[in-house]
Amino acid sequence: MPFVDHFTFIAPYYDRIFGQSGDDDLIGYLEPEAGQQVLDVGGGTGRVAEQLMGLACSVCVLDPSAGMVLQGQRKGICVTQGEAETLPYTGGVFDRILMVDAFHHLRDQSQATKELMRVLAPGGRVVIEEPDITHLGVRLVALGEKLLLMRSQFRAPQFIQRLFQAQGGRVRVERQAHTAWVIVEKTKAAWGDER
């Protein structure tokens, strides 16, 4: 079945539908510092990137949807079209990486975790924020996305945790209501200092 870019269709309305990002939990887990290089994978129109730029971080958004990229660029945000499975960056360049409500849209989740860890600097952190599929409401959303022919693959937080552990990350999971955060540390000891 050919891939349909549903997000290009909704891109012009995305920010109006979802409003401004106010994700204090995500920012708390990410712990960004001024001057850090941050990559927002699947960041769409740059809603979260705008919040991080307000903290004096240098933020780049990567998204596969041409429509979402266009909307982000119209805001003056650094947005690149691409996929998490083949990140167009050299190794170890980002201090922080985040992915909000996008992991389930990845074509190859295992390959994407390898790529995220590759471009993360030693001592850096990845935060994946995902709907927690162990909740009934999220399972209904997953069913809805299947009916819309989206390629979604919702996973339990422990599944995502194991993918990152297989890449040598130190991982913990936090949950609140129907949301889960997978927080990954790339330890300097395990990876050496690539910088």
pLDDT tens digits for range 1-31: 334 455 554 544 445 555 555 578 999 999 9
Q: How far apart are CA 128 and CA 137, in angstroms?
A: 19
Classified by CATH at the fold level, domain 6-12+34-188 comes out as Rossmann fold (3.40.50)
Whole-model pTM: value is: 0.83
pLDDT tens digits for range 138-193: 767 667 666 656 677 889 999 999 999 999 999 999 999 999 999 999 987 655 54
Q: Indicate the SS3 state at residue 119.
A: helix
> Which residues on adjacent β-strands are paired with residue 60?
39
Buried/exposed 162-183: b ≥16 CB within 10 Å, e otherwise: ebbeebebebeeeeeeebbbbb
User: CB neighbours (10 Å) of residue 98?
Assistant: 29
pLDDT tens digits for range 53-63: 888 889 999 99
Residue predicted with more confidence, 139 or 91: 91
Kindly report the backbone phi and psi dihedral angles of residue 151, in degrees, each rounded to the nearest multiple of 5, phi listed first.
-85, 25
The answer to whether 186 and 120 have CB atoms below 8 angstroms apart is yes
Domain-by-domain residue ranges, the chain?
6-12+34-188
Distances (CA, A) of 184 to 36, 61, 82, 119, 179: 17, 19, 22, 13, 16
